[in-house]
Amino acid sequence: MFFLFILLILLFFTKKKIKINIFYVLVISVLVRALILLVFPKSQSEDLLSFLTSGEILISRKPIYPTLYFPFMPYLGLIVLKLKTIINPLIFLKIFFSLFDVAIIYLIYLISNSSQLALIYGLNPVTLLNTTIHGQFDTIPLFFLVLGVYLFIKKKEIFSILSLSMGIYTKTWPFLFSPLILRKLKNKWIFILVALFPLVSVLFYWKLNGVNPIQILIPIKNYRGLYGFWGITEITNFFWPKFDGSWIQLMRRIFLISFLIYSLTFQFKEMIKGISKQMLFFFIFTITFGVQWLTWLIPFLILSKVKYQKIFFSLATFYLALAYYHNVYNISLTGPTFYYLDSLRKVLGLAVWLIMILMFRQKNF
- pLDDT band at 223; cut points 50, 70, 90: confident
**Total-model pTM:** 0.95
Environment class of 301 (CB within 10 Å of its CB; exposed 0-12, middle 13-18, buried 19+)? buried
Residues of the chain with pLDDT > 70, as a percent, come to 92
Q: What is the pLDDT of residues 162-203, one digit of tens each?
A: 999 999 999 999 999 999 999 999 999 999 999 999 999 999
Residue 337 one-letter amino acid: T
Q: What is the pLDDT of residues 277-333, one digit of tens each?
A: 999 999 999 998 888 999 999 999 999 999 898 889 989 999 998 888 776 666 666
- Nearest Cα to 101, choosing from 72, 128, 77, 133? 128
* Residue of higher predicted confidence among 342 and 319: 319
d(CA 121, CA 298): 7
- Look at residue 5 in the predicted model and tell me its pLDDT: 63
- Look at residue 192 in the predicted model and tell me its pLDDT: 97
CA-angle at 72, arms to 67 and 78, nearest 5°: 90
CB 194 within 8 A of CB 164: yes
3 state SS of 223: coil
CB 299 within 8 A of CB 142: yes
Q: Which residue blocks in 196-334 are alpha helix, DSSP H?
A: 196-209, 213-221, 231-239, 245-265, 271-285, 297-304, 309-328
- Nearest Cα to 146, choosing from 308, 280, 298? 298
**Dihedral angle sign, alpha carbons of residues 6, 8, 10, 12:** negative
11-29: average pLDDT: 81
Among the listed ranges 1-5, 57-61, 65-69, 124-128, which one has the minimum average pLDDT value?
1-5
Residue 195 one-letter amino acid: A
CA-angle at 271, arms to 269 and 272, nearest 5°: 115
Q: What is the pLDDT of residues 245-273, one digit of tens each?
A: 778 888 889 999 999 999 999 999 999 99
CB neighbour list of residue 248: distance below 8 Å, 6 or more residues apart: 227, 287
- Nearest Cα to 117, choosing from 203, 206, 214, 8? 8
234-238: average pLDDT: 79
- Look at residue 229 in the predicted model and tell me its pLDDT: 81
3 state SS of 226: strand
CA-angle at 208, arms to 137 and 79, nearest 5°: 40
d(CA 91, CA 5): 24
* Angstrom distances, CA of residue 2 to CA of 8, 36, 123: 10, 12, 12
* Average pLDDT value for the chain: 90
Measured between its terminal Cα atoms, the distance across the chain in Å is 31
- pLDDT band at 16; cut points 50, 70, 90: low
Max CA distance (Å), the chain: 60
CB 18 within 8 A of CB 109: no
- pLDDT band at 21; cut points 50, 70, 90: very high
* Angstrom distances, CA of residue 59 to CA of 64, 105, 152, 217: 12, 35, 38, 21
- Look at residue 240 in the predicted model and tell me its pLDDT: 74
CB 180 within 8 A of CB 148: no
Asked whether residue 41 carries a pLDDT value surpassing 70, the answer given is yes
d(CA 165, CA 200): 11
3 state SS of 21: coil
Asked whether residue 222 carries a pLDDT value surpassing 90, the answer given is no
- Look at residue 63 in the predicted model and tell me its pLDDT: 85
- Look at residue 8 in the predicted model and tell me its pLDDT: 62
